[in-house]
Structure 1
Amino acid sequence: MAPSNAAANNYEQYHQSRMEMMSKAIKAIAFKKQETTKVFQKGDEVEVARQEYGFIGSYYTATIISSVGAYHYRVKYHTLSNEEYAPLKDVVTATEVRPLQPHQHEFMRGDNFCLYDMVDVFSKDGWWFGFISGKIGQEYYVYFPTTGNNIAFPPRMLRFHQEWSNGKWIFPPRQGQIFDLY
């Protein structure tokens, strides 16, 4: 049975309100600096939160090459390369570095995402932070508030977003709801 026009309009208003709320929450997280509660050593595997325009809300895996002073690290990226196609090396601040996220078991990946869940999507050589904005068929639409893009991805490209806080990984509260609303 199809929803009435009033129900569809109410749902659309609710959906837009939730999209705005989630966008504000994600922007607040993406623009904040990482906690510097962990000191990394040469050889540690990490994620680097890029803070340049066009990259805010993205994380790239890297290896610590060395410390540079008290608050910087020299890193070698796993997936980013320079003009010669060699792994890109860069100096980043300690507030851009966090440990690698723990592996998410199969029950935490795959087809278990709900509308408005905060997720990371592996795209363009890194993990990009957004939230589930819809689902069509087997693909999830993910909205990226820092870029304004809304793109469909297969579930294998997604993971639940986690934040590094007080020396441990935290899952944000699930904001989701089931997709069959009518």
Structure 2
Amino acid sequence: MTHLEEQHQSRIDMMSKAIKSIAFKKQQTTKAFQKGDEVEVASQEHGFIGSYYTATIVSSIGAYHYKVKYKTLLTNDQSAPLEEIVSVSEVRPVPPDQHEIMLKNNLRLYDMIDVFDNDGWWFGLITGKIGSKYSVYFPTTGDQIAYPPDVLRFHQEWSNGKWIFLPRQGKMFGLY
């Protein structure tokens, strides 16, 4: 392995640790959602950690749970949208649309992004570019897959009632 390859792998390892720590933490819930609100639900199931699914609030269940109806997930028999009860710590608002931001900012090596795949948004990082597609590594699953830019968005975290863009990681490493 060359020095550059070692540096690249070291950066991926460091970024992977950061992504895992973010993906495994509970959402900071500072907002009470109402019936009909569109939200994203963070999966806490093994193999799905780091994924978010769009849903609508059906009702509040006490102070710590919501009943949600998913937009893209279906019941086992595929006959209707899946409804389930989730903890408030798994729910966040839907991030703002990023179409304009994505047009203005080219994706770069080590950017933390979300990819829409398998009915939800998956948290990963860009590890390269292959033609017009971006190679994305998912630390919580160990997968690396190439995607076109139209299914990518910059990753954001809901914190203290605001959406926070994570710093562009390439800048941290002086890559651009």
Q: Distance in 1 between matches of 2:170 and 2:107?
A: 8
Aligned to 2:2, the other structure's residue is in SS state helix
Q: Would the alpha carbon gap of residues 153 and 81 (structure 1) be closer, same or farther in structure 2, given more than 3 Å must change?
A: same
**Residue from 59, 68, 72 that aligns with 1:75:** 68
Aligned to 2:26, the other structure's residue is in SS state coil
- The amino acid of 2:23's aligned partner reads A
Say yes or no: does 1:130 pair with 2:124.
Answer: yes
Q: Distance in 1 between matches of 2:100 and 2:38?
A: 22
TM-score (norm. length: structure 1): 0.90
Task: Give the aligned partner of residue 4 of structure 1.
Answer: none
Q: Distance in 2 between matches of 1:65 and 1:154?
A: 34
- The amino acid of 2:170's aligned partner reads G
Task: Give the aligned partner of residue 113 of structure 2.
Answer: 119
Displacement after TM superposition at 1:155 (Å): 0.5
The answer to whether the Cα contact below 8 Å between 1:110 and 1:155 also exists between their aligned partners in 2 is no
Post-superposition Cα deviations, 1:4-52, rounded to whole Å, max 9, x if no partner, equal: xxxx811101001000000000000000000111100000000000001
- The amino acid of 1:171's aligned partner reads F
Task: Give the aligned partner of residue 149 of structure 2.
Answer: 155
Residues matched between the structures, number: 171
Task: Give the aligned partner of residue 84 of structure 2.
Answer: 90
TM-score (norm. length: structure 2): 0.93
Task: Give the aligned partner of residue 10 of structure 2.
Answer: 17
Post-superposition Cα deviations, 1:150-171, rounded to whole Å, max 9, x if no partner, equal: 0000000100000000100000
Q: Distance in 2 between matches of 1:173 and 1:159?
A: 14
The answer to whether the Cα contact below 8 Å between 1:75 and 1:92 also exists between their aligned partners in 2 is yes
- The amino acid of 2:39's aligned partner reads V
The answer to whether the Cα contact below 8 Å between 1:109 and 1:158 also exists between their aligned partners in 2 is no
Task: Give the aligned partner of residue 66 of structure 1.
Answer: 59
Q: Distance in 2 between matches of 1:56 and 1:10?
A: 32
Aligned to 2:153, the other structure's residue is in SS state strand
Q: Would the alpha carbon gap of residues 59 and 123 (structure 1) be closer, same or farther in structure 2, given more than 3 Å must change?
A: same
Q: Would the alpha carbon gap of residues 142 and 113 (structure 1) be closer, same or farther in structure 2, given more than 3 Å must change?
A: same
- The amino acid of 2:49's aligned partner reads I
Gaps spanning 5+ residues in structure 2: where? none
Q: Which has the larger radius of gyration?
A: 1
**Residue from 25, 30, 38 that aligns with 2:23:** 30
**Residue from 154, 165, 169 that aligns with 2:159:** 165
Aligned to 2:27, the other structure's residue is in SS state coil
Q: Would the alpha carbon gap of residues 120 and 110 (structure 1) be closer, same or farther in structure 2, given more than 3 Å must change?
A: farther
RMSD of aligned Cα (Å): 1.5
Q: Would the alpha carbon gap of residues 110 and 75 (structure 1) be closer, same or farther in structure 2, given more than 3 Å must change?
A: farther
Say yes or no: does 1:99 pair with 2:93.
Answer: yes
- The amino acid of 2:51's aligned partner reads S
Q: Distance in 1 between matches of 2:104 and 2:70?
A: 26
